[in-house]
Amino acid sequence: MTDQKKINARLQMLKNTVWLGLGIGLLLPAFFCGIAWYLIHHVVYLQKADLLYIGGIAVNAYVMQYFFKFNKENIGRGILAATFLCAFVFFFYKVL
């Protein structure tokens, strides 16, 4: 069995719940925004590159469409809700 087929089989076993999608949608941007935070604070050239956080949030768009492709609509909706939540947090970070 190829790796892609193994991943697809595991995705089919996931429960199709909004809460799972919300968890995935909050953990992925947290991980990637953590990497962005590290880069912003340790690379002099990137000290003013706050838009790297948007890249961390944008990862959710790809993951969301991946779950929609496998008919896991509720997980995709949870990821979408988490994306909006992260976008609001970023907006308040930039404004305040």
- Checking if the pLDDT of 81 tops 90, the result is yes
The dihedral over CA atoms of 78, 80, 83, 89, expressed in degrees to the nearest 10, equals -70
Q: Is residue 75 a contact partner of residue 67, using CB atoms and an 8 Å limit?
A: yes
Environment class of 83 (CB within 10 Å of its CB; exposed 0-12, middle 13-18, buried 19+) = buried
pLDDT at 1 over 70: no
Q: For 30-79, write each residue's pLDDT tens digit.
A: 999 999 999 988 988 887 888 888 888 899 999 999 899 888 999 999 99
pLDDT digits (tens, 9 = 90+) for 13-25: 889 999 999 999 9
Tell me the whole-structure pTM to 2 decimals. Answer: 0.86
Cα(54)–Cα(58) distance, rounded to whole angstroms?
A: 6
d(C-alpha 82, C-alpha 18), whole Å: 10
